[in-house]
């Protein structure tokens, strides 16, 4: 068992100049064989390993990460968390995740800095208004908190917004999910890693998986930079690289991988205490605990694996932010980066068995999977442990692209992560 983090351990370690903290997780060499290998040490992969051990008692598990844990999209996203999706299937999955978020710091004994500051989606046209209202009513029916705000209420909720949108995109109303907000992305990866490690999971970093060992249609292991490791089951959770891995296993995924960008400004005093998003002008903003404005952009218009993103997207985004918040015109940007997002044609994820027995894929979260991290890990662990989909994951099977039972969430996903 790991030492618990508490006020007592904080004081004890302060007396030793914080030099006595134990390691948060081990760095073991891989064993020859595991019951389950999870490929990909992002939030979803680490959460899967944690719930496999915690909920299903499967502890002979390794998470194999080609770089460092949380170095993929988990550490690159803008951390928006919400559950106000349109369709019943999505509402079920994302609301399951949101409920787990609400107790996650306590569950992991790790402060993931979950802040339910409210997420507001703006409407700039009659079409936007109708789409938002339809979604709000769908949310009511699914027991997901959601409300409509008039322009006056928008201004009250976020006083620094310019409702005229510089005359180009006036704000006509908004939807608000008060239980939505943000969380600290690194802490989510580290908290799950620490929790999983404490339950016996091996976390192996700097070890790319280069292939699968498949015998008569059944997975028996993975080829890695540290040699072949045997496994009874393998779960692949590699976000933007999922189609590359599917190719290694001999099947195709209906996924496109594209760079998605974000930026942060220089840190300033608290100025905006909610999340504001706009699909129409393609931008959203919140403020981090360090004071930086966290600004999200749209995806590049072409497929690629460069973790940078193209300049026109940045320009477009900053133009939109300055229209909504003219006072940000004088802010200086500190950093910009990109991550490779894996988007499905219906903007919903894949949580599924595959044509290879014992091989499972969890991918296709596109621009909005951070919010789902706890729920995704929870239902994927069930799917792997029981060899059958968790009821909340069942609609997200790979074969929906054959049966035609798509879950079209373009309206709820869009830029609005």
Interface with ligand FAD (CB under 6 A): 39-45, 64-67, 71-74, 76-80, 208-209, 237-239, 241, 260-262, 296, 339, 341, 365, 367-371, 417
Q: How far is residue 319's CA from residue 329's CA, in Å, rounded to a whole number?
A: 9
Return the number of the residue (165 or 181) whose C-beta is nearest ligand FAD. 181
Q: Are 162 and 323 in contact (CB under 8 A)?
A: yes
Return the number of the residue (172 or 239) whose C-beta is nearest ligand FAD. 239
Q: Return all residues near 212 (Cβ < 8 A) that are at least 6 apart.
A: 219, 221, 222, 223, 234, 248, 249, 356, 359
Q: Return all residues near 330 (Cβ < 8 A) that are at least 6 apart.
A: none
Return the number of the residue (17 or 302) whose C-beta is nearest ligand FAD. 302
Q: How far is residue 36's CA from residue 16's CA, in Å, rounded to a whole number?
A: 39
Residue, CB closest to ligand FAD: 42
Tokens, residue 383 = 């799917």
Return the number of the residue (28 or 159) whose C-beta is nearest ligand FAD. 28
Return the number of the residue (172 or 317) whose C-beta is nearest ligand FAD. 317
Q: How far is residue 47's CA from residue 41's CA, in Å, rounded to a whole number?
A: 9
Tokens, residue 375 = 């729920």
Provide the β-strand partners of residue 224: 209, 227
- Name which of 16, 28, 22, 29 is nearest 2 in CA terms: 22
- Closest CB 291 distance from ligand FAD, rounded Å: 18
Q: Are 260 and 359 in contact (CB under 8 A)?
A: no
Q: How far is residue 78's CA from residue 292's CA, in Å, rounded to a whole number?
A: 12
Cα of 59 vs its chain's centroid, Å? 24
- Closest CB 245 distance from ligand FAD, rounded Å: 6
- Closest CB 45 distance from ligand FAD, rounded Å: 5
- Closest CB 100 distance from ligand FAD, rounded Å: 14
- Closest CB 54 distance from ligand FAD, rounded Å: 18
Q: Are 211 and 68 in contact (CB under 8 A)?
A: no
Return the number of the residue (87 or 370) whose C-beta is nearest ligand FAD. 370
- Closest CB 376 distance from ligand FAD, rounded Å: 7
3-class SS letters over 127-160: HHHHHHHHHHHHHHHCCCCCEEECHHHHHHHCCC
Q: How far is residue 162's CA from residue 151's CA, in Å, rounded to a whole number?
A: 10
Return the number of the residue (58 or 234) whose C-beta is nearest ligand FAD. 234
Return the number of the residue (94 or 172) whose C-beta is nearest ligand FAD. 94
CA dihedral sign, ordered 365, 371, 374, 375: negative
CA torsion, points 81, 76, 109, 49, in degrees to nearest 10?
A: 100
- Closest CB 275 distance from ligand FAD, rounded Å: 8
- Closest CB 169 distance from ligand FAD, rounded Å: 21
Return the number of the residue (46 or 132) whose C-beta is nearest ligand FAD. 46
Q: Write down the residue that tokens 């969890």 correspond to.
A: 362
- Closest CB 297 distance from ligand FAD, rounded Å: 7
């Amino acid at each position: 068992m790991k030492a618990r983090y508490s006020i007592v351990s904080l004081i004890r370690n302060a007396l030793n100049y914080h030099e006595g903290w134990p390691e948060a997780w081990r760095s073991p060499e891989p064993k020859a064989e595991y019951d389950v290998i999870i490929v990909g040490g992002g939030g979803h992969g680490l959460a899967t390993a944690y719930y496999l051990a915690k909920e299903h008692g499967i502890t002979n598990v390794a998470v194999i990460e080609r770089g460092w844990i949380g170095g993929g999209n988990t550490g690159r996203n803008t951390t928006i968390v919400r559950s106000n999706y349109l369709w019943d299937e999505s509402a079920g999955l994302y609301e399951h995740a949101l409920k787990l978020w609400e107790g996650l710091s306590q569950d992991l004994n790790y402060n993931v800095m979950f802040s339910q500051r409210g997420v507001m989606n703006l409407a700039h046209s009659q079409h936007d208004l109708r789409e938002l209202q339809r979604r709000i009513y769908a949310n009511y029916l699914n027991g997901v908190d959601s409300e409509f705000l008039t322009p006056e209420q928008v201004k009250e909720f976020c006083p620094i917004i310019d409702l005229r949108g510089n005359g180009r995109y006036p704000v006509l109303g908004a939807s608000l999910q008060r239980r939505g907000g943000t969380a600290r992305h690194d802490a989510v990866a580290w908290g799950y890693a620490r929790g999983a490690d404490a339950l016996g999971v091996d976390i192996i970093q700097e070890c790319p998986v280069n292939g699968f060992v498949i015998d008569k249609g059944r997975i028996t292991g993975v080829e890695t930079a540290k040699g072949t490791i045997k496994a009874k089951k393998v779960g692949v959770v590699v976000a933007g690289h999922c189609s590359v891995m599917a190719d290694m296993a001999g099947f195709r995924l209906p996924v496109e991988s594209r760079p998605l960008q974000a930026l942060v400004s220089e840190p300033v005093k608290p100025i905006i205490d909610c999340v504001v998003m706009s699909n129409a002008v393609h931008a959203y903003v919140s403020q981090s605990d360090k004071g930086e404005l966290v600004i999200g952009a749209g995806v590049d218009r072409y497929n690629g694996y460069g973790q940078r993103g193209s300049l026109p997207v940045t320009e477009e985004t900053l133009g939109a932010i300055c229209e909504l918040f003219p006072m940000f015109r004088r802010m200086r940007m500190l950093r910009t980066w990109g991550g490779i997002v894996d988007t499905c044609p219906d903007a919903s994820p894949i949580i599924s068995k595959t044509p290879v027995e014992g091989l499972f894929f969890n991918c296709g979260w596109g621009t909005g999977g951070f919010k789902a991290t706890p729920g995704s890990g929870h239902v994927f662990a069930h799917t792997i442990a029981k060899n059958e989909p968790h009821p909340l994951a069942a609609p997200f099977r790979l074969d929906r692209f054959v049966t035609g039972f798509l879950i079209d969430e373009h309206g709820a996903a869009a830029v609005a992560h």
